[in-house]
Amino acid sequence: MSIFKKRQNPTTMDTHYFENIAFTCTNNIGILSIRRPNKMNALDAQTLKELADILIHIEEDRDCWGLIITGMGEKAFAAGADISEFYGKSQKEGQEIAQWGQKHVFDKIENFQKPVIAAINGYALGGGLELALACHLRIASKNAEMGFPEVSLGLIPGYGGTQRLPALVGKGKAMEMILTGERISAEDAYQWGLINEVTGINDLVHKTKEKLNRMFLHSRTALSTAIKTIHASTLPNNKGFQIEIENFGKLFSTSEFEEGVAAFLEKRKPRS
Ligand code: CO8
């Protein structure tokens, strides 16, 4: 049985609505939006469960070649985990929640076989910023603000922020962001290497789609292999180099490789 509820509106027939998220796939680009604008798109348990379910579907959807994750409205991408669900939780419960979320949502996105871009349209705080960090690229509108306010709640990031942030901005900047809990602007985030691009609010989705479309000019097998291999760069003992050699070799057996090389030699564009 389908996990989707389809809205009976002919103009949005391809949009699948859950309680707190919506997903649509047009021209091979999936757009997944978090829809709790009254709560700054905070990630409660229901939203995380829905994200976990839809990610499985999107990964299997052959028509969806890449994914954009964004938040509904102009105020927030996601202002973190839903703080109202924290109260009264035990140490064990805290660990279980963090572990479940990391496995089914955040790590799942990071290891996605298709390119995933966060379109950060406003506040990306705490778990919301961790969601963006799990994506392969981040593009933010000028009004976006990013930060890890967890220390103000007596917490630390729990959805991978302490690990993924230093990999992007270095340990020093990561320490500064996490220890002060202060928010930074999209422009600073760009200067720090936290995001890939800054756009106007009205251009955000368009620019993000453009970025994916530029990737779609290339072999999709090469794209997914590149994602996997880049992740291997954090493995111990320089293991990533060996994985690169193996994955490089594997691509020689693909039809996309044959066509890509033939097209170059024949001075024409590759046929998809
Ligand atoms: N959780 C729950 N509700 C939230 C959250 C949140 N993270 N953020 C905003 N809201 C709610 C507000 O409570 C308010 O609800 P209501 O109208 O019912 O009172 C509504 O959204 C609107 O928010 P504000 O009135 O506060 O709007 P402002 O424009 O004044 O401020 C801010 C916007 C700056 C985003 C402000 O809402 C804010 O600071 N939010 C909290 C940000 C935060 O601390 N995020 C980190 C949360 S902790 C976390 O993410 C940990 C991740 C790891 C978890 C690991 C597993 C347990």
Q: Closest Cα to atom 55, ligand 1: which residue?
A: 158
Q: Which of 137, 16, 10, 2 is nearest to 69 (CA)?
A: 137
Handedness of CA 61, 247, 51, 119 (dihedral sign): negative
Which uninterrupted H or E stretch holds 257? Answer: helix 255-265
Q: Closest Cα to atom 52, ligand 1: which residue?
A: 127
* CA 43 to ligand 1 center in whole angstroms: 10
pLDDT at 271: 82
CA dist., res. 110 & res. 210, Å (int)? 21
CB 181 near ligand 1, within 6 Å: no
CB 50 near ligand 1, within 6 Å: no
Least confident range of 111-125, 152-166, 217-231, 257-271: 257-271
| Beta-sheet strands, E only, within 38-94 | 66-71, 76-78
Q: Is the pLDDT of residue 13 over 50?
A: no
CB 101 near ligand 1, within 6 Å: yes
- What pLDDT, in 10s, does the model give residues 54-87? 999 999 999 999 999 999 998 999 999 999 999 9
* CA 79 to ligand 1 center in whole angstroms: 5
Ligand 1 atom, smallest distance to 159 CA: 53
Share of the chain above pLDDT 90, in %: 92
Q: Is the pLDDT of residue 10 over 90?
A: no
Catalytic entry in 85, 96, 150, 266: 150
- A 10 A CB-CB count for 134 gives 24
DSSP string, 153-166: GT----SSHHHHHH
- Is there a catalytic annotation at residue 93? no
pTM: 0.94
- A 10 A CB-CB count for 71 gives 28
Which uninterrupted H or E stretch holds 21? Answer: strand 21-26
Ligand 1 atom, smallest distance to 126 CA: 50
Indicate the length of the chain as a whole number: 272
CB 126 near ligand 1, within 6 Å: yes
Q: Are 113 and 64 in contact (CB under 8 A)?
A: no
- What pLDDT, in 10s, does the model give residues 132-165? 999 999 999 999 999 999 999 999 999 999 999 9
Residue 235 CB partners (closer than 8 Å, separation 6+)? 243
Catalytic entry in 19, 60, 110, 130: 130
Q: Are 12 and 20 in contact (CB under 8 A)?
A: no
- Is there a catalytic annotation at residue 130? yes
* CA 40 to ligand 1 center in whole angstroms: 6
φ, ψ dihedrals at 58, nearest 5°? -65, -40
CB 81 near ligand 1, within 6 Å: yes
Q: Is the pLDDT of residue 43 over 70?
A: yes
